[in-house]
Amino acid sequence: MTDSAVSASHPGWSTLSSDMPAAVGGTPLILLRKASEATGCEIYGKAEFMNPGGSVKDRAALAIINDAEQRGVLKPGGTIVEGTAGNTGIGLTLVANARGYRCVIVMPETQSREKIGFLRMIGADLRLVPAKPYRDPGNYVHVSRRLAEENGWTWANQFDNTANREGHRTTTAQEIWQQAGGRVDAFTCACGTGGTLAGIALGLHDAARRDNVAPPHIVLADPEGSGLYGWVKNNDLSIEGSSITEGIGQSRVTGNLEDVPIDNAERIPDPEALDIIYSLLGEEGLSVGGSSGINVAAAIRTARKLGPGHRIVTILADGGARYESKLFNPEFLRGKNLPVAPWLDQ
């Protein structure tokens, strides 16, 4: 892809945006050279870390706020509350700042200190809670729902509110289809809420139907410690292992994941994802977070299964700086018996 093709695909560079929400989306689709060379395929990463809030979740935040405004449940000066691993909280708080709303963010205290610090910096009313499984009433999602009920606030409800996936269906998926020239053979993506995978899968199917071509093969990328791999493979949500990645992995079929065309799943161990993250940074100049490593690993495995000559798209969901204290911290990694980037290990 030429430089001009890249800038033309990014409205933030090529056009005037009326405000911050108008600058969400329109991210470049970047050829991942090493992954492509290794497989004989073209593997592209959608650079969602280039959104104003630094992650793919800006899109869900904006779609959910637009929908709540349109339905009349979010009124001028109102308060939005949400349970989040951090990135949705960042997106919601920034859009809320731009539109005059207040944001209350409930987050498990185990998430990276960079995300916690950034949320404080941008003015979120941050409530950290102990990490608890979804079945526990103290889980961050339930705490956020109760706060909404008790205070009459608007609950974003990103897991089950399908405004999340509709945002991706109408923006991210259509951008990918256009940038890839109407040919995507496979798409791989990890799930937290499932909004990104579901919305893009549905939107790519819409586009393929419109153009009368075969729809892409949709692959769910799952970290260890998540139930979705088993769900796709044999309808069994049981969980094995654990992962240091943040924002992905799920123990239930969320509203956003219902009735989505998923063809296959890959379960990716952390060392495989970390090797890819270090290679993307050290050899291609792309600084990405843990879920992007899982996504690209699944794209490489899918490329090997499909064979050379295929075009595969995945998501670079957020940037590496959000995880300096974990993914790029030799002490932390060694404590978990994980690989360390060669240039950090001296």
Q: Where on the chain is the footprint of ligand PMP (CB under 6 A)?
A: 55, 57, 60, 85, 87, 190-196, 247-248, 289, 291, 317-318
The least CB distance from residue 155 to ligand PMP, in Å, is 16
**Least Å from the CB of residue 233 to ligand PMP:** 19
Q: Which residue's CB is nearer to ligand PMP, number 194 or number 216?
A: 194
Shortest distance (Å) from residue 200 CB to ligand PMP: 9
Shortest Å distance, C-beta 266 to ligand PMP:
15
Residues 246 and 289: beta-carbon distance below 8 Å: yes
Using CA atoms of 123, 127, 131, 137 in order, give the dihedral in degrees to the nearest 10: -140
Other Cβ atoms within 10 Å of 122 Cβ, number: 17
Judged by CB, which is closer to ligand PMP: 312, or 317? 317
Give phi and psi for 108, each to the nearest 5: -65, 140
Closest alpha carbon to 333 in 267, 275, 286, 247: 275
CB nearer to ligand PMP: give 224 or 318: 318
Q: Tell me which DSSP letter residue 85 carries.
A: S
Closer residue to ligand PMP, CB minimum distance, 192 or 310: 192
Choosing from 57, 115, 233, 305, which is the catalytic residue?
Answer: 57
Q: What contacts 208, CB < 8 A, 6 or more positions away?
A: 214, 215, 216
Which CB atom, from 266 or from 310, has the smaller least distance to ligand PMP? 266
DSSP readout, 259-284?
T----EEEEE-HHHHHHHHHHHHHHH
The DSSP output letter for 222 is E
Instruction: Name the minimum Å distance from CB 121 to ligand PMP.
Output: 18
Q: Is 75 a catalytic residue?
A: no
DSSP alpha helix (H) spans, the chain: 3-8, 11-14, 33-39, 57-71, 87-99, 113-121, 140-151, 163-170, 172-179, 195-210, 228-234, 270-284, 290-306, 330-335
**Catalytic residue IDs:** 57
